[in-house]
Amino acid sequence: SQTIHQWPATLVQPVGSPLSLECTVEGTSNPNLYWYRQAAGRGLQLLFYSVGIGQISSEVPQNLSASRPQDRQFILSSKKLLLSDSGFYLCAWSALSNEQFFGPGTRLTVL
Amino acid sequence: LAKTTQPISMDSYEGQEVNITCSHNNIATNDYITWYQQFPSQGPRFIIQGYKTKVTNEVASLFIPADRKSSTLSLPRVSLSDTAVYYCLVGDPYGGSQGNLIFGKGTKLSVKP
């Protein structure tokens, strides 16, 4: 069966510090991968998606970036965090259908 | 991109049937309609997906009229544990471009005893 992992589960970072969130998927090959952000009380905002290694599409201009160094690994990064980057970050994967399977999420607080 | 519009919130009582409607006037020919459920501090979970007419599974039913410009998620006999945010999405699952799978703000359903 397929599983999706995210870490860390929670993170508190100062403004201006770097960020690296990791997502890995097991049990499937060549998945589509997604990064979402959900601010408090808000809907899900698609940040990045990837259909293959090294292929990243950005949906929203921001100080975040994403990389896919391996088929089942998706990384969300920032060189300098802003207060507005606080939120709940979710990684998801999908195969042929548009059913997306979400990870447990990372709650990021920027102080 | 097919944009969706849903009510921001709905209230219900245990045992009632709840119907949440989603408008998607610009739905494309190849788009499917998918609904997700999200509990606080968790990722969304797939509920049901359909293309036209009616789809039913063990959790919910999805009604889609002939013009496909709207859809209704029906939850039979809700319980307190159905309190969650429900998202409606439209997109082409086989089109290769995954960026059109947009989550709106969803509908916050509150089920009361």
Q: Is A49's CB within 8 Å of B98's CB? A: yes
Amino acid (1-letter code) at residue A77: S
- Render pLDDT for B38-60 as a digit per residue (tens, 0 to 9): 998 888 999 999 999 999 999 99
User: Greater confidence, B107 or B31?
Assistant: B107
Chain B positions touching A5 (Cβ under 8 A) are: none
Best A44, A93, A106 residue to mutate vs chain B (most B CBs within 10 Å): A44
Residue A50 vs residues A34, A40, A66, A103, B25: alpha-carbon distances, Å = 6, 25, 9, 16, 28
**A28 vs A94: CA distance, rounded Å:** 10
- pLDDT confidence tier of residue B91, bands split at 50, 70 and 90: confident
Q: Which residues of chain A have pLDDT under 70?
A: 61, 96-98
Amino acid (1-letter code) at residue A111: L
**Beta bridge pairs of residue A90:** A36
pLDDT number for residue B96:
55
Least confident of A62-71, B59-68, B69-78, B99-108: B99-108
Q: Is A99's CB within 8 Å of B34's CB? A: yes
Residues of chain B in Cβ contact (below 8 Å) with chain A? 32, 34, 36, 38, 41-46, 49, 85, 87, 89, 91-94, 96, 98-99, 101-106
Q: Would strands B84-91 and B32-38 be described as parallel, antiparallel, or unpaired?
A: antiparallel
pLDDT number for residue B94:
66
Q: B91 and B34 in contact (C-beta within 8 Å)?
A: yes
Q: Is B34's CB within 8 Å of A57's CB? A: no
Residue in the block written with tokens 């970036």: A65
Residue B35 vs residues A28, A52, B102: alpha-carbon distances, Å = 23, 25, 12
**B17 vs B69: CA distance, rounded Å:** 23
